[in-house]
Structure 1
C-alpha cells in the first residue's frame, strides 16, 4: 500500500471513530507500528491530525480573539447568516449566540415583520441598534471576553425563564463522534443550557470547523435540529453527520 493510501485510510478512520490507535491500524494492514507512527508524525506536521500517546485524535482549531476572527471566512459566514435568517418567522423569539458567524445572521434579519431577538452577547445587541422591527433582550452576567458573551449563574437564571423558538448556536468545532465543542467549559455550559430551553437549535458551521474537536463538549450532533453549512462541503464529508439524523441546510 502506498503512503498516500495509508494516510487517506488513517483520515477515514479518524472521521469514523474520532481517534486512531497506531497498534490497531498496523495490525489491520499487516505493517509495523513504526510505519504507522511515522505516517502519524508526518500528518501531524501537515496539520491533518493531533498526535497523542499511542495514536492520534482530530486537530483542535486555533482560537484567535474576537476582533481577529471578524474577517476570517467572511463570504462564507455571510451565506450562512442569510440562510439562518431565512428560517425566522413573524412573532418568533430567536436566541442568537455570540460570535462573528452569528453576527452575520443579524445583518440578514428580515425587516418586514416583527420578532424578538434574545442574546447574551453585547456585540450582537449593538448590531441591532437600528433594526426597525426587532425587539431586543440582552442577557447579562460575567463577560467571557474571548467570545464576548455573558456566562455564569446570573445568565443561566435569566435564560431559564425563556423558551426561544430557535437558538442559532456558534461552536468552534464539530465532529460526528465527539459532537459540537468549544474551548471554554463555562461557555459550553451556557450554550448547552440555551439549547435545552429552545424548541430548535441550528448550528452555523464554516468549513474549517468540520471534523475538528475542541476541549469542551456542548452537545452531540444528534441533539440539534440541523447544521447550516457552506454548499461547497462535499457529500462524503457530510455523510457521517447525516447519519446522526441532523438536517443539513446548505448555504
Structure 2
C-alpha cells in the first residue's frame, strides 16, 4: 500500500471515529506501529490531525485569525449567543474572553442589562463602549495580533483580582479526555486564569469543535460548568460530556 493511500485511510478512519489508535491502524493497514507513528507525525506536521499518546484526534476546524473567524460559522455562533443570553442577569460580574462567539453575545446584550464585564478583547471592549449600563474593565498586556486580545503576565495578574460569577469562554477544541486546548500558548494561559477566577465557566463551542484537540492545554473538560453549542442539547453524541457532569445547552 502506498503511503498516500495509508494517509487517506487514516484520515477517513479519524473522520468516522474521532480518534484512532496505533494498534488498530497497524492492523488495518498491515504495517508496523512504528510506520503508523511516522505516518501520524507527517500528517500532524501538515496540520491534518493532532498526534496524541497512542494515536491521534482531529484538529479543530476553522481559521485561527480573528478577522477570518468572525466570518466563519456565523449562523451557528448566532444560535450560541442567543442561548448564552439566558444566563446573564443584572448585577453579575462576567468575564468575556476574546472569542468571536463572546463578541456576538456582547453585541446582543439587552440595552437595560446592568453588568460589570472584564475582558482582554479589544473588539469586545469597543463593542461595549456605548452600552450605558455595562461597566467595562480591560485587562492590559501585550497585544496578540492574530486574536486582538492581550496576553502575558500583566493580563493574568489583572484577572486574578476578580471573582467572576460567569466566564464566557470561546473554545477552539474540547475533548472529553484531553480537555480544553488551544492553538496559542499565551492565550491558553490567559484562558486558564479566567477559568480559575470564575464560579461558573460557560464554554461556547459549535459542534465541530467537540472531540478535537490543539497543542496547548487549558483545563480538564470537567472544569466546564456548561457547554453551549449550536445543536439541541439532547444529541446522543453529547452524552460523553453529560456523563462527566457538564450541562449541555
Tell me the TM-score range normalised by the shorter chain: 0.7 to 0.9
TM-score by length of 1: 0.81
CA 1:51–1:111 in 2, change beyond 3 Å: closer, same or farther?
closer
CA offset digits 1:77-112 (Å, max 9, x no partner): 011111112201110001000021111111221222
Contact 2:59 / 2:213 at 8 angstroms: preserved in 1?
A: yes
Q: Does 1:147 align with 2:147?
A: yes
Q: TM-score, normalised by structure 2?
A: 0.81
8 Å contact kept, 2:18–2:57: no
Question: What corresponds to 1:208 in structure 2?
Answer: 208
Between the aligned partners of 2:52 and 2:122, the Cα distance in structure 1 is 42
SS in 1 for 2:108: coil
Tell me what 1:134 maps to: 134
* Runs of at least 5 residues in structure 2 that lack an aligned partner in the other structure: 1-8
Contiguous gaps of at least 5 residues in structure 1 = none
Q: Which residue of 2 aligns with 1:20?
A: 21
**C-alpha distance in 1, partners of 2:145/2:25?**
42
Distance 1:212 1:184 in 2: 15
User: What stretches of structure 1 move > 3 A for 4+ residues in a row?
Assistant: 7-13, 24-27, 31-34, 51-56
Counterpart for residue 32 of structure 1:
30
Provide the aligned length of Structure 1 versus Structure 2. 234
Q: CA RMSD in A?
A: 3.3
Look up the SS of the partner of 2:87 in the other structure: coil
- Structure-2 change in CA distance of 1:193 and 1:33 (3 Å): same
SS class of match (1:72): coil
CA shift, 1:134, in A, is 1.0
